[in-house]
Amino acid sequence: MRQEVFVLALTKQGERFVFVYDRESQEILLDELQELAVESTCPLTGFDVAILAGKMREQVLQEGAA
């Protein structure tokens, strides 16, 4: 059985953020993104995390429909 891998990418303030995950690590990535958003040294905000979480849901739903 083939395991699907997903990629999320965001460019903000000249920095690139790329996250690779699979279905099993989806919740872990969401937790990590939320932790990044509260770090003062990271430019990601809660809004950025919400956008990425929405994209994550879209990717997983599209893969499930395929």
What's the rounded Cα separation, in Å, for the pair 29 and 4? 15
Are the beta carbons of 65 and 38 closer than 8 angstroms?
Answer: no
Distances from the Cα of 41 to the Cα of 11, 26, 31, 37, 65, angstroms: 16, 24, 17, 9, 38
Structure tokens at 15: 């920095």
Predicted confidence at residue 11, as pLDDT, reads 94
Domain ranges across the chain: 6-65
Rounded CA separation 50/33 (Å)? 9
pLDDT at residue number 23: 87
Confidence of residue 1 (pLDDT cuts 50, 70, 90): low
Which tens digit of pLDDT belongs to each residue from 17-60?
999 999 899 999 999 999 999 999 999 999 999 999 999 999 88
